[in-house]
Structure 1
Amino acid sequence: MSAARRGGGPGVVGFAHDALLYDDPAELLAVATRFLREGLDAGEGAVVAVGADVAAAIRDALGDDPRLHVVDRAEVYRVRTPAAITGLRRTAGRLTAGGVPRVRVVGEPDFGGTEQDRYEWQRYEAVVNAALADAPLWGLCAFDARQLPGPVLDTARRTHRALTTGAGRAANPEFTEPADVLRDLPVPREPLEDTRPHLVARDVTDFIGLRHAVAAELAALPGPREAVEDLLLAVDEMTSNAVRHGRPPVDLELWTGDERVVCRITDRGSGPQDPFAGYGPAHGADLSRGGMGLWLARQLCDHVHVARTASGTSVRLVTRLR
């Protein structure tokens, strides 16, 4: 990736990714307004996806410019990270088609209230460096240093090539290659896996029978039917992946609790080598070539973790019931 593309500023042809770690909402307002005003003055588009109070203040400061779009941050940072990546790419495409050379985005993700939620969004901050590398976007990600846990702030420093403060913008010496960040992030424990599974299937060969068995277990759950059906589809996809791309035997374990369901599919293959697998279709826009299983699973489940060991590969799917 070229220095111009990485660094932001004039001549950038792809994604720039900056971080602002702030202690005061007034600092966020001042830095975001300056960042977006510079872009508007250069003929660029602007998107604001932060809390409602700061977003309204930014709009007041910048005036009624038609290139300024204030959106609900939940619409940009959707519940699941692949949807957020797709949404940002579509936003860039739509606005650049309208004539702007690049789009600046000030965003503040909601990292959620659990360790698993935070893990997914920490991964997202690393993944977008690769997933959006060719997108005409300049993102300024805001992190509330008063409220976010230390590990989230540490990830912010490792996943953004530049840091911005009220004093200006500077290259970030702590930036780490995204693949290394993904490898180093500690995977949250799943307490349900310490309990007895409700369903165990070893050396699976009857996949129709397995689907019926999983569906029967899920049918008794109290959660939303849509979430349960999404999980069943994700289990189908991951089981099929294990058969097509892994090595037998294929095993499945299913745990159910009051608040979530966990399913783990294991095979004896080496698993996907690409650390960014599942954050987009494997073959890009050509969906006819397949390669969508893990991508679909990441959109259908709240948490997806792929673990590769010397003995095989396992995929853990987690769906919340409430």
Structure 2
Amino acid sequence: MSVDQAADRRVLEFAHTALIVGADRDLPSVLVPELHRSAEIYDEVLLVVSAQTRAALADAAAEVRPDVVSWGEPAAFYQRLGSAYEAFRRCLTAQHQAGRRLHVIAEPDLAAAVDPGFRAERTTAYLAYEAVCNDTYAIGGSAVTCIWDSRDHQDTVIDGIRATHAYELTSTGPAPSPRHLPPERYLAERHDVPARPAPSRPDRDVTLHEFAELGVLRSVMGTWAAGHDVAEEGAEDLVVAVIEVATNGLRHGQAPVRVRAWRDGDTLLVQCDDTGDQPIPATAGYYRPQPLAVTAGGRGLWLARQLADVVTVSSAPGRTSVRLHFPRQLMRLRFPPISRR
């Protein structure tokens, strides 16, 4: 397929592309031509990138029509992982509903505001969203290009990037990724393995046998979160996420449900364990529930993924565990709107 044919095809279908940078020269030599190509195809090119990348692209962006290129503040998107994924989905949806084609060029920020000991788990969790967005971002003729620096990640992460992106950006344009996997297969083959076990003496340890005890859990979690210097809204988000997961354990798993909470460095963690034998589906919580599903109780894990930063799920005979990560710095943030050039 020629570059022109690939460009024509991208107008008609969603293109999820990875730019894997291996040297400083790769960014301008590969991304600048793509910026010019996109300006001819899309109604808007939204760049959500680091200050360093923005500086490297500023001259090239200035050469493009001023009504095409806009800049997004990374902090407005890269918050907690689930809400970051949802923010991009809503942005693409709004543009599609307005009859506009949007190309987002984004540089995932997975290290800021997160304890170094949890960055590997966070990257693994983010790649799950990268897999799912091949379905959920396929709105009209939109496109998303993600910038990843191979010097910042292990080879296993780079392999995951190639598996979750349908295309890889080269100097001649996007090329199909031979390692790409369908979202359901990618999610089924990955495994959530918490880096550290729960402590033997957590800050809070609550066991639930029935729904009537959820009020006690709400009070315990609210008091615990409020004592860790997070914003009131952040504390409320933590409580809602925990209640949703605990409710799922009682409804879809099996009582008793044990809920433990502790602080590790600058991260608040909560783990919910039920004693059921039904594993949680690999895709659970990644796809926005339909309105009818909300009333039927289908929103619990999806909502938890929106409110927590990282959610890991693991199953073993007689136990299903869901662990929620709440980095304190992210629980304090207030996010600015998109800024435009």
- Farther-moved stretch of structure 1 (111-120 vs 215-224): 215-224
Q: Secondary structure at the match of 1:10?
A: helix
Task: Quote the Cα distance in structure 2 between the aligned partners of 1:255 and 1:233.
Answer: 17
- Farther-moved stretch of structure 1 (28-37 vs 154-163): 28-37
Q: Is 1:10 aligned to residue 16 of structure 2?
A: no
The amino acid of 2:260's aligned partner reads E
Task: Quote the Cα distance in structure 2 between the aligned partners of 1:50 and 1:38.
Answer: 18
Equivalent residue, structure 2, for 1:63: 64
Residues 283 and 290 in structure 1, CA contact (< 8 A), matched pair in contact too: no
Trace 1:84-123 onto structure 2 (pairs within 5 A). Answer: 84-100=84-100, 102-112=101-111, 113=116, 114-123=119-128
Of the three residues 160, 166, 181, the one matched with 2:165 is: 160
Cα 1:294–1:45 change in 2 (3 A) is same
Normalization by structure 1: what TM-score? Answer: 0.84
The amino acid of 1:171's aligned partner reads P
How far 1:193 moved relative to its partner? Answer: 0.7
Residues 258 and 321 in structure 1, CA contact (< 8 A), matched pair in contact too: no
Equivalent residue, structure 1, for 2:259: 252
- Farther-moved stretch of structure 1 (188-197 vs 165-174): 188-197
How far 1:66 moved relative to its partner? Answer: 0.5
Cα 1:93–1:128 change in 2 (3 A) is closer
How far 1:277 moved relative to its partner? Answer: 2.2
After superposition, the CA RMSD in angstroms is: 2.8
- Structure 1, unaligned stretches of length 5 or more? 1-6
After superposition, what is the alpha-carbon deviation per residue over 1:115-146, rounded to whole angstroms, capped at 9, x for unaligned? 22222222222221222234532222111122
Percent of paired sites with the same residue = 27
Q: Secondary structure at the match of 2:127?
A: helix
Task: Quote the Cα distance in structure 2 between the aligned partners of 1:320 and 1:303.
Answer: 9
Cα 1:130–1:216 change in 2 (3 A) is same
Task: Quote the Cα distance in structure 2 between the aligned partners of 1:287 and 1:142.
Answer: 34
Q: Secondary structure at the match of 2:256?
A: coil
Of the three residues 299, 303, 308, the one matched with 1:301 is: 308
Task: Quote the Cα distance in structure 2 between the aligned partners of 1:149 and 1:80.
Answer: 22
Task: Quote the Cα distance in structure 1 between the aligned partners of 2:6 and 2:155.
Answer: 27
The amino acid of 1:214's aligned partner reads M
Equivalent residue, structure 2, for 1:181: 186
Question: Relative contact order (C-alpha < 8 Å, sep 6+): which is higher?
Answer: 2
- Structure 2, unaligned stretches of length 5 or more? 330-341
The amino acid of 1:29's aligned partner reads P
After superposition, what is the alpha-carbon deviation per residue over 1:52-83, rounded to whole angstroms, capped at 9, x for unaligned? 3433443432334312222223333x212322
Equivalent residue, structure 1, for 2:27: 28
Q: How many pairs does the alignment contain?
A: 313
Trace 1:65-80 onto structure 2 (pairs within 5 A). Answer: 65-76=66-77, 78-80=78-80
After superposition, what is the alpha-carbon deviation per residue over 1:266-307, rounded to whole angstroms, capped at 9, x for unaligned? 22152542x232234322697555522212211221221122
How far 1:242 moved relative to its partner? Answer: 1.9
Residues 6 and 174 in structure 2, CA contact (< 8 A), matched pair in contact too: no
Cα 1:65–1:302 change in 2 (3 A) is same
After superposition, what is the alpha-carbon deviation per residue over 1:164-220, rounded to whole angstroms, capped at 9, x for unaligned? 222443222111232333234353434361432233333522222333333344444
Residues 47 and 105 in structure 1, CA contact (< 8 A), matched pair in contact too: yes
Equivalent residue, structure 2, for 1:172: 177
Trace 1:261-300 onto structure 2 (pairs within 5 A). Answer: 261-267=268-274, 268-273=276-281, 275-283=282-290, 290-300=297-307
Task: Quote the Cα distance in structure 1 between the aligned partners of 2:327 and 2:34.
Answer: 37
Residues 115 and 188 in structure 1, CA contact (< 8 A), matched pair in contact too: no
Normalization by structure 2: what TM-score? Answer: 0.80
Cα 1:99–1:303 change in 2 (3 A) is closer
